[in-house]
Structure 1
Amino acid sequence: MQDDFNQRFERVITLISMRHDKTLGAIFSISLMVAALAGCSPDQSKQATNTETTSTPSAAVNHQLAQLEVSNANAFALDREPVFIPLYDLGLDANNPKAQQLAIKSDEQILPSQLVDTDGDETLDALLFNADFASAQTRRFTVSADPSISKPVVKKQTQAEISIKEGGEWQGKEYVGGTFKNVDRVTPPPQYTDHSYWIRYEGPGIESDKVGYRIYLDWRNGFDIFGKKVHEMVLQNVGQDGYDSYHHNADWGVDVLKVGKSLGMGGFGFWNGKSVELVSQVDTRDAIITNNGDLYSGFIINYKGWQINDTKLDLKAHFTMTAGSRLVKVDLNASKEIPNFAIGMVKHPGTTLLQGNTEKSGYAWTYVGSWGKQSLSGPDDHLGMAIIFRRGDRQEQTEDESSYVSVMNDNGGNLEYYFLAAWEHELDGIKTEADFKAYLEREVDRLTKAPRIRFESTLSAEAKQNLLTPESALSWAKKLADSELDRKTLKYHYGGWDEYRRRPAKFEYDVAGLQIQALQDLNGVSPDQRYVDAAEIVTGSFVTEEGNIHTFPPELFSIDLTNPGRVLILLEQRTGKEKYRKAVDYLRNHLKIHPRTSEGAFWHRATYPNQLWLDGVYMGIPFLIQYASIYETGAVQHASFKEGIHEFDITRNRLRADNGLYIHAWDESKEAFWADKETGLASQYWSRGMGWLAMAMVDVLDYLPESETDLRKTMLDMVNEFAADIIRYQDPETGTWWQITDKPGELANYRESTGTAMFTYFLAKALNNGYLPAEYKEPALKAYQGLIKEFVTVHADGKISMTNQCLVAGLGFGRDGSYDYYMTERIVSNDPKGNGPFIMAGIEIYKLLKQAQ
């Protein structure tokens, strides 16, 4: 039966990827999307004034590829908000002819769209469209590939170009004669330098309908601004009549910034402790146009052999702009880590330094800007400039003789930020400091709370038929496990790389613990040597022959770092290697000295003193109970069992609210800034926090013997109580749960997959083991169906992705535990904290359905 299901799955993948244009529109019907979209308010937003729309031919429905539901997560309107749909999620690649036929429909209108290269690898990888949203508005869109559709006529709103002279000759460092010609790429020759008169306006340029910028492609690496008085594209004419013309006011605008030896507008370099060293000493620098479209344009500069101190590295910088925006997005990728990487802007006399809120919670954006009479266009003209960056990416704010400087943390050689300028003489320009600050605040909010997207491709929908069979449940678990083994799981070994945290891999709970544990569970029902091997390749790699654990800081007393010990127990039992026994003994002994609250609950870690988190119960207690069941006996074993179950008692007494839900955390000292000063409690019910607790409940029962009657009763009572409470908050439409559990539909809240997977696992496992009565089978299966229908994307290569995962959430260190905080954390796909529970949930649903056969 399993082989039959896999063969049907692969046939679906093949048929759909080959025959989108014949049958898919007819078969694409998914109840969760229909129900969701039926309740949406009608679209009241206007289309961009500089575009035209075209009615949809009825034949387009036969070529439908996907449906989207996009929600504005902010309490203000969004104008021409960019929405990106990866071609991979549509089951296409850039070479598929259908990619050129893609169209976006909303309310029977075809919207402007563009195929784009988002990562600068010179391969188209996404479909971009712009849409307007009223405050908190939700809109529906359909993606189709129909050659008969008449695409809308779009006025060009972005541009990227680089122009060099041909037909002349080099005379020393100056190019004499010739005419300009736009090219897609250029590598300046060794003699090229500033004022060589070979590259028009001295480097690549980029613009939107709001503003333009140029970057000197020479030792200065300066970033300059073209202030615009018109919405039309102007770069194609700038500098055509000589190098001085754009320094003088014209109908289109003017060069408005004096850059000098500074960072200019949004430039980057190396902070040596006293000043910024620009990207000057390089072997070569290449400029390549990656996008030059109506809605999205960009270019990359490859700096080869940038010399910093006594080392050389390569740096790739990708610059992109979207229609209707002043912002340039900058993605930097270096071949080596760069300590003290610097970004910033020119420091002109008489300007005011503006700083955004650095106390914002979570993965929020903030800014540094300047405002004042700093424009070259006239002595009284105001100009605002800013860089926008992730709150946690900055080490310090400083300055040197010529620049306001933000020294950034090293993120494995990667950095993402934006720069922007606002000139008062733009059409509808920003004219006051107060208005500029308000504009910046809105932009960082817009970036922090990106639109919430629910996505279902036709490819995915067809693959999700007949979900409620044992074979399909097991197959979905294996599909994600196998997809992640191919993508990144095995990269998390000691000395490897943590993709999402952008740092070397560590002995942590999510991969070394949770995801590897899920693979071992999967091997128990569907044996595969790759699953077995992953335990030693990843988790085992952190253990030395002496039983020491790499990257385990004992002084941190992080309860999170206990969780991978469950995999080490398995490895010890499987291999008999002494090093694993030493490692698990060390983890158990470390728990004995772990600091605790006055009632005996483990602190979350030393930097979170006196705090009990729901997460920590899962991280420490199943390991403690499992260790005791295997390695301890008699009174010692019983004491360990009592110690573990006591943690659940404290958690219930301290964190369970009158509504039956559990608050994320409690600070006994009531001193944490997020804690209520009377109760010490945090303020929100976070679904994944409760998911950690729910999984811990059923997992400890695996190792708590029947002879421990009272302790088992405590846990069984808690399981039944929690099950009754949590299903009251199950989304009636989809069977899933929301990021903040008790606030479905509130602004920026979203249906969240990791918590949903954990609750599904909890319910199904409790049913399988007889902890819950049969009446819970229906909500368990509904949760599982929602998990697959709402959060799985199927790709044409046979891999799948798990979407809408909250990457991380915590308290302290800039995270205030407010509702708004939980809305700021990144939403990602294929993170181990979701992958593990997804695989485990599939295994338990497989067992549940198998019992019914």
Structure 2
Amino acid sequence: MCNNRYFMARILFGKTLLSLSIATLISACSQQNSSPAQTDTAAQNNIATLGLSNPSDHARTDTVLLPYADLGIAPAQATALVAQTGGNLIASQLIDHNGDGEKDTLLLQAELAASTTQNISISNNPALFAAQQLPKRTQAEISRKTGGQWQGEKYIGGTFENVTEVTPPPQYTDHSEWIRYEGPGIESDKVGYRIYLDWRNGFDVFGNKTGAPVLHKVGLDGYESYHHMADWGMDLLKVGKSLGAGGYGYWDGQQVQLVSKVSGHTAKVIENGPLYSALQIQYKDWQIAGKTLQLTANLSMTAGSRLVHTRLTTSEILDNFAVGLVKLPKTRLLQGKLDIPGHSWTYLATWGEQTLTGGNDKLGMAVLFKRGDNKAITSDSNSHVAVLEPSGTELEYYFLSAWDGEPGGITTEAEFVAYLQQEAEKLTLAPRTELKTALSQQQKAGPLTAQKALDWSERLAASEMQRQTPYYAFGGWDYERGRPSKWEYTTGLQLQAYDDLLQLRPNPEWQQVLTDVIDSFITADGDIRTYKLTNFNIDSLNTGNMLLREYQRNPKPQYKQALDLLRKQLAEHPRTSEGAFWHKKIYPHQLWLDGVYMGMPFLANYTTAFEQGHALDEVVKEFTISRAKLRDPATGLYYHGWDEAKAQNWADKDTGLASQFWGRGLGWLAMALVDVLDTIPADQAELRQPLLDMSAELAAALVKVQDAKTGVWYQILDKPNATGNYLESSGSSMFAYFFAKGVNNGYLDARYKDTAIKAYQGLINEFVLVHTDNSVSLTNTCQVAGLGFGRDGSYNYYMSEPVIRNDAKANGPFIMAGVQVARLLSAN
């Protein structure tokens, strides 16, 4: 077995050595396309334009965060940022989002009509910035006494003074009467919350009758006043030993362990602004589950919202976080859907007469979380609990309260449920963004050349070498998935892209990283760490292509044994009645477009290298069955999947077909066609012809749904005008690769050269974002999409999956497309 700790130390050290050369490379490429004087001028005036689209069929208020690094400006250039649409200012605030004490992000709050797009300009304009007068609609505060003295655990005398940071002394505990309302507070114009800064760590609710922030009025005259109704409202909740209104702790299998056993607390006000306020609480030396952890909680609220965004970070991994709500009589427990995709948001909530007002008023409380983070819904004697699994050392969720005493408050359970569903939808279905910055536009200027195509591939590769690539090794961390690195198809895809690039732009340091990553998974006896043959997961085969390349450069016996193990999977892999490979054992009787790419290039490469090509007819058969089952004759496009048993909820009961033409799904097929054609010898015309015919058919179909304006493709290919649909980078990169390689190698007619160039130029124009350090990101990638297990295959489902950046499923094809376009342009 390899020494994981040693291996990761080696990667970290290597990454440090690489950083200088990578930074030099990025800078050299960028200097070809921009001048410092032009960039500075742009930064002082027009910083960026933002297309902001509402993906819902109802009006929404959306808060958008634009980090300075994305806007292409340094903090010194961001002191007077304003946002405008149609000549009108959009409410905005400069914030410290990461909690390090420095402003780093422009926050916008936009009112979006149903299914519409706002075009927003962002500029540095000191006059407009100074003139923007926003009412204060959020607040964060900490107030502690000064001028008195401690007598045991009580603080006697003194007056309250607001501070931005407090660390209670060792004798401080509950009811010490030193901190006003016993902890930090945070609120919007809807509702306020306080967090007990002691062993209880409970979360309480301040009901607000005014429609404006009130925390600065609360508890000034002592610790009893806010327990009684006042003009502003009152403390609503009896928390006791529970989690209260959305607190966090640890689930030990039987009950919640509060964040109680700590050596100290420090609370800070990070932001206290009109649109956004934030607190940070640091828990020192939390003794839990046999560990001593440092826990940091970042809590924030935005104007007009009841939700508190909660981001927890621990110093080491802690499973089984408990988040939840106090368990009280006269309430109903409400639960959102769990049969939904893993990235979709859902909730655990209560509704009923659960306030301290003494009347029959109603209060609703909820925690909202990603379904995929949820391990269990349970309870103990004090709390209703959602047990959540963090992404490594980080966990994100929201909590909220809704009191019928607030102005225009929610008054019935039905209204509360509708509100929760709407908030869950907003979290799941984020607004679509198209950000074009002055810095990016300057560096994209000028005609496309072969050298520029390679430069963009190399810049993204350099950026990813810093962000992720070395950490794909066994013992590392997959940041996109938020889990330990595994033998994943995405790893192989990204490494193959590097390998393609290195044929034209050699880089021994990078080549060594590729070798190290592959080598880390292969044991001395030829096993593959994290891989299990009996899962019969066809995705697991794709990285075998990179393993084969490594074997051909360095024929280690254990590499060959590992390759044989992957080949054995295909020999035993379950199939449909006509012989197509199931996508996975857990997806019985199902043929997916994704699987054609995952399995067939590997089988073609393996059988050519070691079996004299005996299985090439089997490879071609997979394509012809896919065409027969998945292709729509009317459009020439292919549906994402087919269920031979016609049993899945996403499958048409008559045909077994999924209902949508998903871009990346078809992209996998397109790449598989041109990659496998590389492997089948030219003299085997009968085997090659079906794939050539499919390539020609597919090229004609794809041109018809290529966006005429941008040259790229939509997430759902045939519905460009449907609500929520967006131009998507992974499928578009795959199609650019397909067209360019197809023309280069004679698989497609030469007339498609213009299609390839238009597509690649579209990738640069639409999806490449240049940061202030001259690294680049590739944006607008569908994070994941599949069928079954809560994924119903509907149009709305494909819209619900997160849209992210710097995902290997887009990075790899983008880098490979640049290599092919460079070859195409060099052939002139």
TM range (shorter): over 0.9
Q: Deviations over 1:652-676 (max 9, x none)?
A: 0000012111010111111222211
Q: How far apart, in 1, do the equivalents of 2:31 and 2:353 lie?
A: 64
Question: Does the aligned pair in 2 maintain the 1:6–1:475 contact within 8 Å?
Answer: no
Question: Does the aligned pair in 2 maintain the 1:366–1:444 contact within 8 Å?
Answer: yes
* Match in the other structure for 2:18: none
Cα distance, 1:749 vs. partner?
A: 0.8
Query: 2:817 aligned to 837, 841, 845, which one?
Result: 841
- Residues 180 and 545 (structure 1), Cα distance of their counterparts in 2 relative to 1, 3 Å cut: same
* Match in the other structure for 1:698: 674
Q: Deviations over 1:218-270 (max 9, x none)?
A: 00000000000112221112111111111111111111111111110001111
Query: 2:36 aligned to 15, 18, 31, which one?
Result: 15
SS in 2 for 1:194: coil
Q: How far apart, in 1, do the equivalents of 2:486 and 2:473 lie?
A: 8
Residue range with higher mean Cα deviation, 520-529 or 163-172: 163-172
* Match in the other structure for 1:352: 332
Q: How far apart, in 2, do the equivalents of 1:598 and 1:124 lie?
A: 60
1:594-673 equivalences under 5 Å are 594-633=573-612, 637-638=613-614, 640-658=615-633, 659-673=635-649
Question: Does the aligned pair in 1 maintain the 2:501–2:815 contact within 8 Å?
Answer: yes
Is 1:726 matched with 2:730? no
One-letter amino acid matched to 1:210: K
SS in 2 for 1:548: coil
Query: 1:503 aligned to 483, 487, 501, which one?
Result: 483
* Match in the other structure for 2:6: none
Question: Does the aligned pair in 2 maintain the 1:112–1:151 contact within 8 Å?
Answer: no
Question: Does the aligned pair in 2 maintain the 1:282–1:303 contact within 8 Å?
Answer: yes
* Match in the other structure for 1:91: 72
Question: Does the aligned pair in 2 maintain the 1:13–1:796 contact within 8 Å?
Answer: no
Query: 1:166 aligned to 146, 151, 156, which one?
Result: 146
Cα distance, 1:336 vs. partner?
A: 2.5
* Match in the other structure for 2:3: none
Q: How far apart, in 2, do the equivalents of 1:418 and 1:589 lie?
A: 46
Question: Does the aligned pair in 2 maintain the 1:362–1:822 contact within 8 Å?
Answer: no
Question: Does the aligned pair in 1 maintain the 2:342–2:373 contact within 8 Å?
Answer: no
Cα distance, 1:410 vs. partner?
A: 4.1
* Match in the other structure for 1:68: 50
Question: Does the aligned pair in 1 maintain the 2:54–2:432 contact within 8 Å?
Answer: yes
* Match in the other structure for 1:307: 287
Cα distance, 1:707 vs. partner?
A: 2.1
SS in 2 for 1:600: coil
Question: Does the aligned pair in 2 maintain the 1:467–1:785 contact within 8 Å?
Answer: no
Is 1:119 matched with 2:98? yes
- Residues 244 and 14 (structure 1), Cα distance of their counterparts in 2 relative to 1, 3 Å cut: farther
Query: 2:362 aligned to 382, 386, 396, which one?
Result: 382
Query: 1:247 aligned to 219, 227, 243, which one?
Result: 227
Q: How far apart, in 2, do the equivalents of 1:494 and 1:517 lie?
A: 17
* Match in the other structure for 1:231: 211
Question: Does the aligned pair in 1 maintain the 2:139–2:273 contact within 8 Å?
Answer: yes
1:402-417 equivalences under 5 Å are 402-417=382-397
One-letter amino acid matched to 2:550: L
* Match in the other structure for 1:392: 372
Is 1:444 matched with 2:424? yes
Question: Does the aligned pair in 2 maintain the 1:282–1:307 contact within 8 Å?
Answer: yes
1:750-789 equivalences under 5 Å are 750-789=726-765
TM value normalised by structure 1: 0.92
* Match in the other structure for 1:533: 512
Question: Does the aligned pair in 1 maintain the 2:208–2:234 contact within 8 Å?
Answer: yes
Cα distance, 1:502 vs. partner?
A: 1.2
Question: Does the aligned pair in 2 maintain the 1:103–1:151 contact within 8 Å?
Answer: no
1:526-605 equivalences under 5 Å are 526-605=505-584
Query: 1:334 aligned to 301, 306, 314, which one?
Result: 314
One-letter amino acid matched to 1:775: R
Cα distance, 1:534 vs. partner?
A: 2.2
One-letter amino acid matched to 2:689: K
One-letter amino acid matched to 2:443: A
Query: 1:475 aligned to 455, 458, 463, which one?
Result: 455
Is 1:435 matched with 2:415? yes
- Residues 763 and 106 (structure 1), Cα distance of their counterparts in 2 relative to 1, 3 Å cut: same
Cα distance, 1:362 vs. partner?
A: 5.0
Q: How many residues align?
A: 803
Q: How far apart, in 2, do the equivalents of 1:219 and 1:500 lie?
A: 35
Cα distance, 1:4 vs. partner?
A: 12
Question: Does the aligned pair in 2 maintain the 1:701–1:712 contact within 8 Å?
Answer: yes
Cα distance, 1:8 vs. partner?
A: 6.6
SS in 1 for 2:78: helix
* Match in the other structure for 1:805: 781
* Match in the other structure for 1:31: none
Question: Does the aligned pair in 1 maintain the 2:604–2:676 contact within 8 Å?
Answer: yes
- Residues 599 and 19 (structure 1), Cα distance of their counterparts in 2 relative to 1, 3 Å cut: closer
- Residues 348 and 13 (structure 1), Cα distance of their counterparts in 2 relative to 1, 3 Å cut: farther
Cα distance, 1:337 vs. partner?
A: 2.4
One-letter amino acid matched to 1:92: I
- Residues 374 and 13 (structure 1), Cα distance of their counterparts in 2 relative to 1, 3 Å cut: farther
* Match in the other structure for 1:220: 200
SS in 1 for 2:126: coil
Is 1:187 matched with 2:167? yes
Q: How far apart, in 1, do the equivalents of 2:483 and 2:775 lie?
A: 26
1:126-141 equivalences under 5 Å are 126-141=105-120
- Residues 6 and 100 (structure 1), Cα distance of their counterparts in 2 relative to 1, 3 Å cut: closer
Q: Structure 2: 5+ residue runs without aligned partners?
A: 1-23
Q: How far apart, in 2, do the equivalents of 1:489 and 1:297 lie?
A: 36
Q: Deviations over 1:6-32 (max 9, x none)?
A: 74722656616x853x3x38xxxxxxx
Cα distance, 1:752 vs. partner?
A: 0.3
Is 1:796 matched with 2:796? no
Matched-pair identity in %:
52
Question: Does the aligned pair in 1 maintain the 2:26–2:459 contact within 8 Å?
Answer: no
Question: Does the aligned pair in 1 maintain the 2:377–2:385 contact within 8 Å?
Answer: yes
Q: How far apart, in 1, do the equivalents of 2:382 and 2:35 lie?
A: 59
Query: 1:101 aligned to 35, 57, 80, which one?
Result: 80
Question: Does the aligned pair in 2 maintain the 1:520–1:531 contact within 8 Å?
Answer: no
Q: How far apart, in 2, do the equivalents of 1:312 and 1:179 lie?
A: 36
Question: Does the aligned pair in 2 maintain the 1:754–1:805 contact within 8 Å?
Answer: yes
- Residues 84 and 13 (structure 1), Cα distance of their counterparts in 2 relative to 1, 3 Å cut: farther
- Residues 696 and 348 (structure 1), Cα distance of their counterparts in 2 relative to 1, 3 Å cut: same
Question: Does the aligned pair in 2 maintain the 1:186–1:286 contact within 8 Å?
Answer: yes
Q: How far apart, in 1, do the equivalents of 2:282 and 2:74 lie?
A: 25
Cα distance, 1:72 vs. partner?
A: 0.7
1:676-755 equivalences under 5 Å are 676-755=652-731
* Match in the other structure for 1:459: 439
Cα distance, 1:414 vs. partner?
A: 2.1
Q: How far apart, in 2, do the equivalents of 1:605 and 1:754 lie?
A: 22
Q: How far apart, in 1, do the equivalents of 2:708 and 2:674 lie?
A: 25
SS in 2 for 1:100: coil
One-letter amino acid matched to 1:379: G
Q: How far apart, in 2, do the equivalents of 1:204 and 1:4 lie?
A: 47
Q: How far apart, in 2, do the equivalents of 1:794 and 1:477 lie?
A: 13
- Residues 338 and 231 (structure 1), Cα distance of their counterparts in 2 relative to 1, 3 Å cut: same
Question: Does the aligned pair in 1 maintain the 2:342–2:370 contact within 8 Å?
Answer: no
Cα distance, 1:616 vs. partner?
A: 0.6
Cα distance, 1:454 vs. partner?
A: 0.7
Question: Does the aligned pair in 2 maintain the 1:492–1:506 contact within 8 Å?
Answer: yes
* Match in the other structure for 1:177: 157
Cα distance, 1:631 vs. partner?
A: 1.6
Q: How far apart, in 1, do the equivalents of 2:103 and 2:659 lie?
A: 44
Q: RMSD of the alignment, in Å?
A: 1.6
SS in 2 for 1:695: helix
